[in-house]
Amino acid sequence: MGEEVVRTSGAAYLALIGELFGQPGGDPAEATREAFRGAALTLEALDFADPCPIATVALEVAGTHEGLRPATAEVFASWIEALAGYYASCGLSAPRSTASSVIALLEGAFMLGRAGRSPEPVLTAATAAAAIVAAAARA
């Protein structure tokens, strides 16, 4: 049952990626920066509670529950593939590694933001993520 909850929650966040990045064209670095800004607002709106339940489950059970670990890995992989598809449609080089870096930055920033009860780590990560995307766009 827990695995299904992880996959269902992950699918909801996957839909959000489609909404935020579903429009080819425009500036992918700016779209990424705006997505992080929105994530910072969400973190604040949730009173720094759990902006990403998938990461929370992954951190808590990855080493102890072999059923939930692959479910969280599958969800993260689906997010990376969706974002990579958007970046590929924008002509970025290495869209998958770019997407993986962006997701990793966001998840890490959420963790730091929750711990410090501040949106600042997410906003700082926005700048780094946009720079990674811009560099991939130039390559």
Taken in order of first residue, the domains within the chain and their CATH numbers are: 2-138 (1.10.357.10)
Return the sign of the alpha-carbon dihedral for residues 124, 121, 37, 62: positive
Q: Which of 109, 107, 110, 101 is nearest to 129 (CA)?
A: 101
Query: What are the mean pLDDT values of the chain's consecutive 10-residue runs (139 residues total)?
Result: 76 81 82 94 92 84 80 92 94 96 96 96 98 95
- Residue 64 confidence (pLDDT): 82
- Residue 94 confidence (pLDDT): 96
- Residue 24 confidence (pLDDT): 67
Q: How far is CA 6 from CA 42, 80, 86, 120, 124, in A?
A: 20, 16, 24, 27, 28
Q: Who's near 117: CB < 8 A, 6+ residues apart?
A: 48
- Residue 43 confidence (pLDDT): 93
Q: Which of 20, 10, 21 is nearest to 58 (CA)?
A: 10
- Residue 108 confidence (pLDDT): 95
d(CA 132, CA 102): 8
d(CA 26, CA 135): 16
Q: Which of 20, 71, 68, 18 is nearest to 42 (CA)?
A: 20
- Residue 31 confidence (pLDDT): 94
- Residue 42 confidence (pLDDT): 92
